[in-house]
Amino acid sequence: MKKIEHIGIAVKDIESANAIYEKLFGAPPYKEEEVESEGVKTSFFMSGPNKIELLEATNSESPIAKFIEKKGEGIHHIAFDVEDIEAEMERLQKEGFIILNEKPKKGADNKLVCFLHPKSTNGVLIELCQEIK
């Protein structure tokens, strides 16, 4: 794993969260994207070299809707940049981590992604991201 790619924050209303984070960082989101397969609307901010992803649920079955219902708004996941996502998935599965998707899936911001169950990572949802070249 190379570095933290982004931190995902679950929000109830992305428009009002965008206004707050725009004030915080002094710049608007550089990208807004809906990912239907995950049931989310996202927006991305840069703070120096660091990326923040805001996520609002687009339906009640979305992982973000369920998370907010149980825990409220807040940090939802940490994503790590990887060179070869399939190799990392294989390595981590052998190490005993619970991989939530069998194959990498298309995420936001031009990435292939997969998730590790928080039960296998001390209560933190981990996302692996590989840039699509």
Ligand X SMILES: CC[C@@H](C(=O)O)C(=O)SCCNC(=O)CCNC(=O)[C@H](O)C(C)(C)COP(=O)(O)OP(=O)(O)OC[C@H]1O[C@@H](n2cnc3c(N)ncnc32)[C@H](O)[C@@H]1OP(=O)(O)O
Q: Is 40 in the site for ligand X (CB under 6 A)?
A: yes
Binding mask 3-32 for ligand X (x = CB under 6 A): -----x------------------------
Tokens of 117: 């169950």
Query: Smallest distance from the beta carbon of 2 to ligand X, in angstroms?
Result: 16
Part of the chain binding ligand X (CB under 6 A), chosen from 13-21, 24-32, 88-96, 112-120:
112-120
* Rounded Cα distance, 81 and 127, in Å: 9
8 φ/ψ angles, rounded to the nearest 5 degrees:
-95, 130
Report in angstroms the alpha-carbon separations of 92 from 40, 79, 98: 26, 15, 8
- Cα radius of gyration (the chain): 14
Query: Smallest distance from the beta carbon of 90 to ligand X, in angstroms?
Result: 19
Judge contact between 75 and 62, C-beta under 8 A. Answer: no
Please say which residue, 56 or 127, places its beta carbon nearer to Co ion: 127
Tokens of 46: 């840069």
Amino acid at 105: K
Query: Smallest distance from the beta carbon of 30 to ligand X, in angstroms?
Result: 14
124 φ/ψ angles, rounded to the nearest 5 degrees:
-115, 125
Q: Is 66 in the site for ligand X (CB under 6 A)?
A: yes
Please say which residue, 48 or 72, places its beta carbon nearer to ligand X: 72
**Which residues lie near ligand X (CB under 6 A)?**
8, 35, 38, 40, 42, 53, 55, 63-64, 66-67, 70, 76-77, 79, 100, 107-108, 111, 113, 115, 117-118, 123, 125, 127
